[in-house]
Amino acid sequence: MKDGLLTRIDLAWSRDQQEKIYVQDKLREQGAEVWRWIEEGAHLYVCGDASRMAKDVEQALIEIIAEQGQMDSEAADEYLSELRVARRYQRDVY
């Protein structure tokens, strides 16, 4: 991100091709950068399927926070909850 503008996009296709690529996989690949964005005040928005995708993305975020923030999974879960309270982590899932 530069000057508040998105300058990068990573795509994840799980239906239109033989090899499935999921959002959570892309997040994990870029874990250090995702963590840097969070630490710099980024807002996270998750939209889509509540039954699997949203849960898997949330688990990936907890893993990234734990690894990059050097905390255990319980502290990482609490950190993500604090982002939710601050309205920096929002979900529109169905």
Q: Which domains does the chain have, with CATH numbers?
A: 24-93 (3.40.50.80)
Q: What is the 3-state secondary structure (H, E, C) of 3-36?
A: CCECCCCCCCCCCCCCCCCCHHHHHHHCHHHHHH
pLDDT of 1 higher than 90: no
State residue 18's pLDDT score: 85
pTM as predicted = 0.88
- 3-class DSSP state of 74: helix
pLDDT in tens, 46-93: 999 999 999 999 999 999 999 999 999 999 999 999 999 999 999 999
